[in-house]
Structure 1
Amino acid sequence: MLRYTLMRLGIFLGCLAVAWGLVYADIVPSGRNGSNGLWIPLLALVLSAPISFVVLRKERDRASVQVAARVDRMKANMEAAGLAEDLADERARAGTKTS
């Protein structure tokens, strides 16, 4: 998961550099009234999203499998804890009925 996040960040930073270069070379219009601090990262985000979607498909699938396995383990642990609690409750009720 960390690898996927770092790869996404790398693509975004690359797009940020390209967007900055395009704006300051006057190829892409700059923001109005000095709003380049918001315009350039927004442009980079719009550029990096489809690139990440296509380029990182395999890595995203790998991360998805890891997350699904973690969720399954958590569900199994919660179910086991619930069963243990039910068993302890049944034992406690059986102990109070015979007393």
Structure 2
Amino acid sequence: MLRYTLMRLGVFAGCLVAVWGLVYFGVFPAGLGDSNGMWIILLALVISAPISFVALRKERDRASIQVVQKVDRVKANLEANRSQEDEAADSAQGQAQTS
């Protein structure tokens, strides 16, 4: 998961540098007044999203498998805890009825 996040951040950083360069050289229009920095960041986000979606597909699939496995483990642990609690409650209730 960390690997995917770092790769995604790298794609964004590359797009940010590219957009900044294009705005600096006048290929892309600059933002109005003091909004130039925000314009560059937003434009880099818009450009990096589809690039990451296509270029990082395999890594995203690996990360999602890891997340699913972790969720399944947590669910199994919760179910095991529930069954232990149920067994403890049943045995306590059975002992209370025999007393």
With the shorter chain as reference, the TM-score category is over 0.9
C-alpha RMSD of the superposition:
0.5
The one-letter code matched in structure 2 to 1:66 is Q
Mean CA deviation greater in 29-38 or 8-17: 29-38
Which residue of structure 2 aligns with residue 12 of structure 1? 12
Which residue of structure 2 aligns with residue 36 of structure 1? 36
Encode CA deviations 1:19-72: one digit per residue, 9 max, x unaligned.
100111010000001211210000000010000000000000000111111111
Report the Cα distance in structure 2 between the residues aligned to 1:97 and 1:13, rounded to whole angstroms.
68
Number of residues of Structure 1 aligned to a counterpart in Structure 2: 99
Which residue of structure 2 aligns with residue 27 of structure 1? 27
Unaligned stretches of 5+ in structure 1? none
Which residue of structure 1 aligns with residue 80 of structure 2? 80
Report the Cα distance in structure 2 between the residues aligned to 1:15 and 1:49, rounded to whole angstroms.
10
Report the Cα distance in structure 1 between the residues aligned to 2:73 and 2:56, rounded to whole angstroms.
26
Report the Cα distance in structure 2 between the residues aligned to 1:33 and 1:17, rounded to whole angstroms.
20
Q: TM-score, normalised by structure 1?
A: 0.98
Report the Cα distance in structure 2 between the residues aligned to 1:15 and 1:43, rounded to whole angstroms.
9
* Runs of 4+ in structure 1 over 4 Å off: none
Percent of residue pairs identical = 64
The one-letter code matched in structure 1 to 2:5 is T
Unaligned stretches of 5+ in structure 2? none
The one-letter code matched in structure 1 to 2:60 is R
